[in-house]
Structure 1
Amino acid sequence: MDSAPEPAPAKRRGRPPRGSRKALTRDRVLHTALAIVDAEGLDAITMRRVAKELDVDPMSLYNHVDGKDGILDGLAELLLAELAGTSSSGDPRADVEMRAREFRQAMLQHPKAAPVVLTRQLTSRAALAPIEAVLEPLLAQGFPTDQAVHAMRTALAFLLGTLLREVDAGPTFGVGDPVAGEQRRADLAASGLPAVATAAADLAVCDHEAEFEFGLHIMLDALERMRPRSGSDRDPESHSGRILLDEGIGDPSEHR
């Protein structure tokens, strides 16, 4: 009489065998952290949270990143690496505009992570390359180093500010919710403040593309006015840190 066949071994539950796991690398840690930030925001990043997502011991992450700060620095590098890296045209205005548009498009892919670009002090060549791309044409046109750095940081602050508003505006500006927008307009019109009431229809909504273009061109126009002049066109009183005034504005001494 044949013996009954042995039952199939029960499927193993829980964590997969060690040999089946993907190798833990810095790139994998950072992309996992970026996915967490995309879904939950920067405040969700902790070593324990990232380790849980990777199904590893939190201490194993320290072989690849220097704690939470190392993760945040790495996220900034990932975002900056997504910039197109278009070569300089030699025209400061055109180059700053091009970099601004590239930056906005790259950051819109990961808007919740974008603030790390402004807040981290990065030292890697890859992270500093976009800064080089902005500073180089400004310095080549004679901008003093302090003005070039101010211009770059002002551009970053503008870009991140408009980006965060674009991401978080929601119904506050009637974005995707015309009922909320109309209610906001009615509230502003009834505010009792003449200027607010007059502009209520425009205050209640926000066209993100129009806002970006308006702010960008104000910034570029200001940069153009600061552009160092050569020869007899140079203001003899100008120096590092002082804005060169457009023709037609007049000598500030006339108003003293």
Structure 2
Amino acid sequence: MKPFCFADGNIIDSSKAQIHPMDLGLIRGYGIFDFFRSVNYTPLFLEHYLDRFIGSAEKTFLPLSYSREELKQIIKELTDKNDMEQGGFRMLLTGGISENHFSPAEGKLFIFPESLIFPSEEKYNKGIKLLSLNYIRPIADIKTTNYALSVWDSMRWKKEGAEDVLYHHNGYVSESSRSNFFIVKNGTVITPDKDILLGITRKHVLQLVDKVEIRPVTLAESLEADEAFITSTTKVLLPVTQIDQHTIGNGKPGPVSMDILKKFRILEKEMSL
């Protein structure tokens, strides 16, 4: 975490940010957040992240007492104050202190600038392993703070040498715990169309692809894919070379995945100039 954050309507020392112990964000795990990266002092795809954050507040009935322009100004001030050439910003809106300890109330807005830890180069070169998990994330189209199952299950991933999970239900896959999921078959990029967070990185990856299908994707066809990968703000694009005990394709990152990653890196540079 960087030295300065936004809390209680002001930019303050990050170590002094506080939340009431009866906030729904703490006692019920109810709140929303979003996370974006800054490159060369420029927040990447900021308008898209603000669209999602503002929309999530509306959908979860959480009052957001700051306009888009006010949020952008706060982010600019935090960038300058923390000398944020590179890093991440975490926007968090809590569920608030509710009279009945259950219904959404007026919560607190926090914006925390953070240092980033990216996956190792080895993971991009060799690919990663996912473990399948029968689960659909609650209100999946909203980036809520409810990560209880995946945090608990992450101890299993470590034991089995996996990077993350692949959620599936009734034979269909949806997403990873913190990433969108794609497969490649015969040169076509295919990604699930429902029970997912509409990722910002996902959105821009799809714009870089010529042959794409957005539709239901079965777990069975995922295991038979030529290539697979996940995308997220902090991972960008990570090749998936194993799901459970099944090797994907030839067990190496595929040419379609690596070409998309290359194009996205070029897009990042153009956006940060």
TM norm structure 2: 0.26
TM norm structure 1: 0.27
Of the two structures, which has the highest relative contact order with CA contacts closer than 8 Å and spacing of 6 or more? 2
Which structure carries more helix by proportion?
1
Larger radius of gyration: 1
Which structure carries more strand by proportion?
2
